[in-house]
Amino acid sequence: MLVYDTQLSSRLLLGTSRYPSPAVLTEAVKASGTGVVTVSLRRESSNERSGQGFFSIIRSLGVRVLPNTAGCHSVKEAVTTAHMAREVFGTSWIKLEVIGDRTTLQPDVFGLVEAAKILCDDGFQVFPYTTEDLVVADKLLDAGCGVLMPWGAPIGSGQGLNNVPGLRAMRARFADVPLIVDAGIGVPSHAARALELGMDGVLINTAVARAGDPVGMAQAFADAVKAGRSAFIAQPMLPSDVAIPSTPEIGLAHLV
């Protein structure tokens, strides 16, 4: 998968929050085969983690870090957090979140576009967490984004892909834009489905971190992403409203 002129080794991106321990996180990252992990600067700098000690663990994983602006509810918050993340991690990559609703954690698409424009103009390579709205997507691309991250369902809900027609429409409209489904994926079959639809990748966090066996689940998602991509390339059969016999009638005995 090519994003911002960088070839990624895997179509699975992995979040780093809410794991039982740093050791489990480390093993899950390895099992997933991911080349990119996301880190929330605000969350991990709080009392939930040990600050620089946690960042050292992330750096030791040998994967690319995609900082995010999780928890930001305004353009100013998101832009400020992005600048802090660039200083801490030394990367121009930023997963941009501007949350508009505290219940669904749905993006504030108006603030998202505004913040994306500011950051792109300042040299950031922005990964915007957005909805499947085509108009918003157009505006994000016009702002300078080179990738889109539509949600599958509300963050952490595990509901899967709530708007398959919407994701299909995005894939058709933006054929040359990397599309990475972010949020709401709960089980590997959801991830496989996203790749079968032609999505370029998925970002998983809660479904792995909160599994009974995070390491085993990370491996399961890695397998699912590969299977989904292979199925998309193989061109799945189209569904039919009626039964189609797999055995031809020619050559069958007809009793009278």
Whether 254 is covered by a domain: the verdict is: no
* Cα–Cα distance, 100 to 226 (Å, whole number): 33
Q: Residue 244's pLDDT is what?
A: 85
Q: Residue 252's pLDDT is what?
A: 63
User: Could you tell me the residue range of the domain that residue 61 belongs to?
Assistant: 2-234
Whether 188 is covered by a domain: the verdict is: yes
Whether 121 is covered by a domain: the verdict is: yes
**Total structural domains within the chain:** 1
Whether 91 is covered by a domain: the verdict is: yes
Parts of the chain with a pLDDT under 50: 48-49
Whether 250 is covered by a domain: the verdict is: no
* Cα–Cα distance, 200 to 177 (Å, whole number): 9
Whether 220 is covered by a domain: the verdict is: yes
Q: What is the CATH number of the domain that holds 75?
A: 3.20.20.70
Task: Please state the three-class secondary structure of the chain as a single string.
Answer: CEECCEECCCCEEEECCCCCCHHHHHHHHHHHCCCEEEEEHHHHCCCCCCCHHHHHHHHHCCCEEEEECCCCCCHHHHHHHHHHHHHHHCCCEEEECCECCCCCCCECHHHHHHHHHHHHHCCCEEEEEECCCHHHHHHHHHHCCCCEEEECCCCCCCCCCCCHHHHHHHHHHCCCCCEEEECCCCCHHHHHHHHHCCCCEEEECHHHHCCCCHHHHHHHHHHHHHHHHHHHHCCCCCCCCCCCCCCCCCCCCCCC
Whether 246 is covered by a domain: the verdict is: no
Annotated binding site for 1-deoxy-D-xylulose 5-phosphate: 156, 183-184, 205-206
Is residue 226 annotated as a catalytic residue, yes or no? no
Annotated binding site: 156, 183-184, 205-206
Whether 249 is covered by a domain: the verdict is: no
- Of the residues 30, 76, 95, 117, only one is catalytic, namely 95
